[in-house]
């Protein structure tokens, strides 16, 4: 059974074909990132226009790379939330039109839940992918860390899960992106802060950890602390967003701030994950979302949980259509409700 997945919630236009929820047949991602870099973040209007331009070629390429025609496709899965309204609209309208035209069942996918399903892909003949050896077992603790979300979710089975906790303010990836901007490091912030941190001392500055609910997170405290710290270091209260702040910081100061922030942000996630791991004794722990690519997160988690954790390939951690197609496969296999191709609407604020 083959499902075509379509993902356009942010700045990636992505489509993929996945077979039986485990085999990756194609994975095409066209990013408009280059267009956003000069603004230090995603510009929604530019992202939406880019989706319109490339969505049909991306879908066709996903079919071609999977050596599929429309006859081979059993269902279409599309992200309908959460995400940027204009971006989601392009993917959803395209999927609706294709579902009607080719008479395929349509499945509406929650983007955040989709990220978790990148962990169920175990096989591919595509070059350059490091695949997981096996699918995770239930109960499964999912640590979801992306640009828009930070949450801990306990899955008892497919489609049977409890949200244990979430961020009370910024998502971790968003905090990385903002700290990068303060330090004059390029977007996206996760990788650039991580790179700068390699040259810095993570113990240079003690940043505060917020006191929130048992499994909840907060990243706005440490983020604001970074601003105060940078201001104190140069002895001038340039308020954000001023480029002057970054210009006045030395490379060593930037590296130390980046390392200190990264340590506390990642520790915040790992502390709570450890607590949930001890309370619920899950059979598997999975990491999902763009920040799953962070080597520091991987290092700290392995150390805290004493558990060999399998990660999806980096290309499956950031936004992609494969995770959407994979969850679509499980929806088909578990007789989940289909969406009405004449009526499916976007839900930019969808939560799990
Ligand atoms: O999941 P994703 O691709 O998009 C959302 O759904 O939000 O996540 C994007 C986020 C960005 O905030 C980016 O800074 C972060 O993932 N990210 C990383 C790394 N690669 C991407 N954070 C830390 N380390 C990385 N290597
Ligand atoms: Zn995402």
Pocket test for ligand 1, best of 91, 167, 286, 290 (most atoms within 8 A of CB): 290
249 C-alpha to ligand 2 centroid (Å): 32
Edge-to-edge strands, sheet with 2-7: 106-110, 75-81, 2-7, 12-19, 23-31, 123-124
Residues 268-284 have a mean pLDDT of: 97
Pocket test for ligand 1, best of 190, 192, 301 (most atoms within 8 A of CB): 190
pLDDT of 245: 87
pLDDT of 10: 93
Question: pTM of the full predicted structure?
Answer: 0.93
Q: Report the 10 Å Cβ neighbour count for 8.
A: 35
Pocket test for ligand 1, best of 151, 194, 291 (most atoms within 8 A of CB): 291
Considering the chain, what percentage of its residues have pLDDT values greater than 90?
85
Please report the atom of ligand 1 found closest to the CA of residue 288. 1
3-class state of residue 39 by DSSP? coil
pLDDT in tens, 14-52: 999 999 999 999 999 998 888 887 777 788 888 899 999
pLDDT of 322: 98
Residue nearest to atom 5 of ligand 1 (CA): 147
pLDDT of 13: 96
Pocket test for ligand 1, best of 147, 194, 295, 351 (most atoms within 8 A of CB): 147
In DSSP terms, which residues pair with 31 in a beta bridge? 12
Residue nearest to atom 16 of ligand 1 (CA): 290
Considering the chain, what percentage of its residues have pLDDT values greater than 70?
99
Pocket of ligand 1 (CB under 6 A): 10, 146-148, 173-174, 176-177, 188-191, 194, 289-291, 293-294, 318-319
Mean pLDDT of the chain: 95
Rounded to an integer, what distance in angstroms lies between the CA atom of residue 154 and that of residue 81?
20
pLDDT in tens, 292-322: 999 999 999 999 998 889 999 999 999 999 9
Residues 155-177 have a mean pLDDT of: 96
Contacts (Cβ under 8 Å, ≥6 apart) of 263: 197, 202, 203, 296
CA-based nearest residue to 226, from 251, 257, 259 = 257
Q: Which residue has the higher pLDDT, 88 or 209?
A: 88
pLDDT of 109: 98
Contacts (Cβ under 8 Å, ≥6 apart) of 215: 152, 164, 165, 272, 275, 276
64 C-alpha to ligand 1 centroid (Å): 28
20 C-alpha to ligand 1 centroid (Å): 27
3-class state of residue 132 by DSSP? coil
Domains, the chain, in order of start with CATH, read 2-136+314-333 (3.30.420.40), 140-304 (3.30.420.40)
In DSSP terms, which residues pair with 293 in a beta bridge? none
pLDDT of 276: 98
Please report the atom of ligand 1 found closest to the CA of residue 147. 7
pLDDT of 299: 94
Q: Per-residue pLDDT for 348 more than 90?
A: yes
pLDDT of 241: 66
| pLDDT band at residue 8 using 50, 70 and 90 as cut-offs | very high
Reading the block at residue 283, the tokens are 């059979």
Residues 248-253 have a mean pLDDT of: 95
| pLDDT band at residue 169 using 50, 70 and 90 as cut-offs | very high
pLDDT of 199: 98
Helix (H) / strand (E) element for 142: namely strand 140-145
Q: Per-residue pLDDT for 77 more than 90?
A: yes
Q: Which ligand has its closest atom nearest to the C-alpha of 150?
A: 1
Question: How far apart, in Å, do the first and last CA atoms of the chain sit?
Answer: 26
Q: Report the 10 Å Cβ neighbour count for 262.
A: 25
């Amino acid at each position: 059974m083959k499902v075509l997945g379509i993902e356009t919630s942010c700045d990636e236009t992505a489509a993929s074909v996945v077979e039986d929820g485990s085999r990756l047949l194609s994975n095409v991602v066209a990013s408009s990132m280059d267009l956003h870099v000069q603004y230090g973040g995603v510009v929604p209007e530019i992202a939406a226009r880019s989706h319109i331009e490339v969505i049909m070629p991306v879908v066709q390429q996903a079919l071609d790379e999977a050596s599929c025609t429309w006859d081979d496709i059993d269902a279409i899965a599309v992200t309908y939330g959460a995400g940027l309204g204009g971006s989601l609209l392009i993917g959803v309208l395209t999927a609706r039109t294709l579902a009607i035209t080719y008479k395929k069942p349509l499945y509406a996918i929650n983007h955040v839940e989709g990220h978790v399903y990148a962990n169920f892909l175990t096989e591919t003949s595509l070059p350059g992918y490091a695949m997981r050896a096996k699918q995770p077992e239930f109960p499964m603790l999912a640590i979801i860390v992306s640009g828009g979300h930070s949450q801990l979710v306990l899955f008892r089975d497919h489609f049977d899960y409890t949200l244990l906790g979430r961020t009370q303010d910024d998502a971790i990836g968003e905090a990385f992106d903002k700290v990068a901007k303060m330090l004059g490091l390029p977007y996206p912030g996760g990788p650039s802060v991580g790179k700068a941190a390699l040259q810095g001392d993570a113990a240079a500055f003690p940043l505060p950890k917020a006191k929130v609910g048992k499994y909840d997170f907060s990243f706005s405290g440490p983020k604001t602390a970074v601003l105060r710290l940078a201001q104190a270091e140069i002895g001038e209260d340039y308020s954000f967003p001023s480029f002057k702040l970054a210009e006045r910081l030395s490379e060593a100061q930037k590296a130390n701030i980046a390392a200190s922030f990264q340590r506390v942000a990642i520790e915040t996630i790992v502390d709570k994950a450890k607590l949930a791991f001890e309370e619920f004794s899950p059979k598997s722990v999975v990491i999902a979302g763009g920040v799953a690519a962070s080597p520091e997160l991987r290092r700290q988690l392995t150390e805290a949980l004493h558990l060999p954790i399998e990660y999806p390939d980096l290309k499956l951690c950031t936004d992609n259509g494969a995770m959407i197609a994979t969850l679509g496969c499980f929806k088909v296999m578990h007789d989940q409700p289909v969406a009405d191709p004449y009526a499916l609407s976007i839900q930019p604020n969808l939560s799990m």
